[in-house]
Copies of this chain bind each other. A is one copy, B any other.
């Protein structure tokens, strides 16, 4: 077999209409199922149904787990119970539970009634884990060995269990009760002598997670220990499944997206921008917009309270937006740095003094530069404002930068100490706090000096 040309959706439809089934089967044998799913997604559903009839069951099952949820729904409607049963045999339980979570209830029932009792209980167990828990993303097909196995026996087990396992790179050693006691790499087994024993190869120090742990914990451990899979146990230490690094890759991307959204005062969306409807999109944004709109009134009332000052020295008003923006930017810089440090580098409340000290020093440098630039800029290019007001504004910038960096750097730690999500200290919230502080400082200095 030689590599083949690239196909289009139209060409696949054509082949199907011309009953070129042998060529179609060859294409599905040869091409990557992800690319094929993208082509099939655009075919009419009755053609896709016909396609499933001629595909080998294992290829069909693989294709199924990459199709669009809407198409899945229509397909499941079209399929007979026997067809579903045939496909089920070839699906990984975790892929199947992913598919089921996309289907409406009545179709879930239709699928489950075609499943074997064993599959049904596995699926029910998987569906019962909390969203974003390790249990909910684990795969239950894992190779297990016994401490007393020889390498030869282990290889036989691997060949038997490995066909359906997510990975055979790591084999987990369990006691007779199923309790996880250690692991062996396939490499070690392959490179050992046939009469070596698993007991000689086992590594007892095995990083692991519990089913109810947050999926982020699995991601962190896999990244920390540079491993490609981590076993999942229940509270008694019984091995229940495995999470592989490719599952975790999606977790890391999702969690980053969530954090980014929270930091921009958005309640995280479940789906991507394109897939999210208008109303969920509206809901995810309106809460913070309302809260922040009302709290910004407080800043307004500070301006109102200093109305007399503003009427007397009208130039004061020119610098209000600049002060608010600069303080807000500094606060969002420092909060972003610290929030990301907490998520990625395990910074915590213990680093309070370190962060305080670092933000203070950075503030003095940045504040100093902004002070100088601002004074010269106003003094030289805005003669109508005058040097005194220039110095008042610049002094305010210096103080406000320092306050903003401290508030931005330390509020996320406060959130952490109160067991809240630091990313929820959205920079808009911090900005609102800092706005009020900046204006108060500004008017106090102006009233004292002018």
User: Footprint of B on A, CB under 8 Å?
Assistant: 1-4, 30-32, 34-35, 158-159, 162-163, 167-169, 181-182, 186-187, 190-191, 203-205, 207, 219, 222-228, 244-246, 248-250, 252-253, 256-257, 259-261, 263-266, 269, 272-274, 278-279, 281-282, 285-286, 288-290, 292-294, 296-297, 299-301, 303-304, 307, 310-311, 314-315, 317-322, 324-326, 328-330, 332-333, 335-338, 340-341, 344-345, 347, 351, 354-355, 358, 361-362, 365-366, 369-370, 373-374, 377, 397, 401, 427-428, 431-432, 435, 439
Q: Given contacts A249-B252, A345-B272, are A286 and B340 in contact (CB under 8 A)?
A: no
Q: List 14 A-B contacts (CB under 8 A).
A: A1-B204, A159-B191, A163-B191, A168-B187, A228-B244, A274-B347, A285-B330, A285-B333, A285-B362, A296-B321, A297-B318, A300-B322, A320-B320, A325-B432
Expressed in whole angstroms, the Cα–Cα distance for A325 and B289 within the complex equals 9
Q: Which residue of B lies closest to A307 (CB)?
A: B314
Main secondary structure of the interface of A (DSSP, over half): helix
Q: In the assembled complex, which residues on chain B have CB atoms less than 8 Å from the CB atom of A366?
A: 282, 285-286, 289
Expressed in whole angstroms, the Cα–Cα distance for A326 and B292 within the complex equals 7
Give this chain's copy count: 2
Expressed in whole angstroms, the Cα–Cα distance for A397 and B279 within the complex equals 20
Q: What is the CB-to-nearest-CB distance from A362 to chain B, in angstroms, rounded to a whole number?
A: 5
Q: In the assembled complex, which residues on chain B have CB atoms less than 8 Å from the CB atom of A317?
A: 300, 303-304, 307, 310, 317
Expressed in whole angstroms, the Cα–Cα distance for A289 and B252 within the complex equals 30
